[in-house]
Amino acid sequence: MIRKFFIQLCVFLIPVIIGYAIIENYTRNLPLSPKIISEFYKTHQNDIEVLVLGASQNRDAINPEFLSQKTLNIAFPDQDYYVSSKLLEHLGPTLPSLKIVVVPITYGHFETAPNQKETWKNSMYRHYFGATISEEFTYFKDNLLYISFPNYYSTKIREHRNGKSNEDYNQYGYNRNLNNSLFYKFKYDSLTIAKQSVHITPIKPNPEFIPENAEKLEAIVAFCAKQNYQVVLLETPTTARFKKQRIPEVLHRKDSILELITSRYDIHYINGDSKNEYSIKDHRDNNHLSTLGAEKFTKRLNKLIQ
């Protein structure tokens, strides 16, 4: 009876395992930005001099092809200081030529809820960069991509199979396609854009998140000081409408932390958000630069780094 049950179980499971193996293999070969970035990292590991951390603002604003030094931009949407610190601790020692680490210090970083420590992104970072950011290890979710976030990867698989991915990555993993950007969809019409609500984070003060986020930022800066990396704290450009929506007390606390951290460490601070010198076409939306804006901003950053 037991033997018969075991045989039936195998007959049921083997097709399931084979089917999943096919999906997992397909997922791992999707031309997603982390895959392209990891290929650049592995190819140029000994020559990379600049490492860019942070969330989607840094991902969109800094296109490494316009920097003189070999640059690895591993910024990713919703990537907080905790995740950035873990990536830096892992990748830093593997980059023998690393000199500069670019860290964001945007309006909402300190009062946005920190990433969950058991995030699905752990499997992505483990697979592409060999970095562990989760405090707890779960075999399937941490070692397998598809099962870590089936809805996300299922969407990417469908888009790829149907030729609707709309992604144009350069060798650095920077997406040059604008079709999915908000302002492009509105054909950069200022009147239409003015009618849209401005997405801003946080939408209300959250001072309870400050201690953890500030602690992780200082951990990044302290690690860089120990390794003799030069830190560049960076604010990326936003639109005038975004600036008007900012909450004064949140902005004040951010500026206070900036003043404190720069007084303690040897840091270069670049405020790319101080002037409204970018046009509508330079933005994807109110808080992110387009490919045109990224070219302008990265060239400016390049001169400052030089």
The pLDDT of residue 166 is 76
**Residue 13: inside a domain, yes or no?**
no
Domain range enclosing 178 = 33-119+169-305
Cα–Cα distance measured from residue 155 to residue 151, given in angstroms and rounded to the nearest whole number: 6
**Residue 17: inside a domain, yes or no?**
no
Q: Does residue 16 have a pLDDT over 90? A: no
- Residue for token pair 């070969």: 29
Please report, for the domain that includes residue 111, its CATH number.
3.40.50.1110
Q: In what order do the strands lie in the sheet with 50-52?
A: 71-73, 50-52, 100-104, 230-235, 267-271
Provide the percentage of residues in the chain whose pLDDT is more than 70.
92
pLDDT tens per residue across span 247-300: 999 999 999 999 999 999 999 999 988 777 899 999 999 999 999 999 999 999
| Dihedral angle of Cα 34, 94, 267, 228, to the nearest 10 degrees | 180
**Residue 147: inside a domain, yes or no?**
no
| CB neighbour list of residue 137: distance below 8 Å, 6 or more residues apart | none
Its pTM surpasses 0.95: no
The pLDDT of residue 2 is 65
| CB neighbour list of residue 222: distance below 8 Å, 6 or more residues apart | 265
- Residue for token pair 């800066």: 221
Cα–Cα distance measured from residue 62 to residue 142, given in angstroms and rounded to the nearest whole number: 29
Q: Does residue 45 have a pLDDT over 80? A: yes
Q: Does residue 6 have a pLDDT over 70? A: no
**Residue 142: inside a domain, yes or no?**
no
Ramachandran angles phi, psi of 285, nearest 5°: -155, -165
Domain count, the chain: 1
Provide the percentage of residues in the chain whose pLDDT is more than 90.
63
Structure tokens at 288: 């992110």
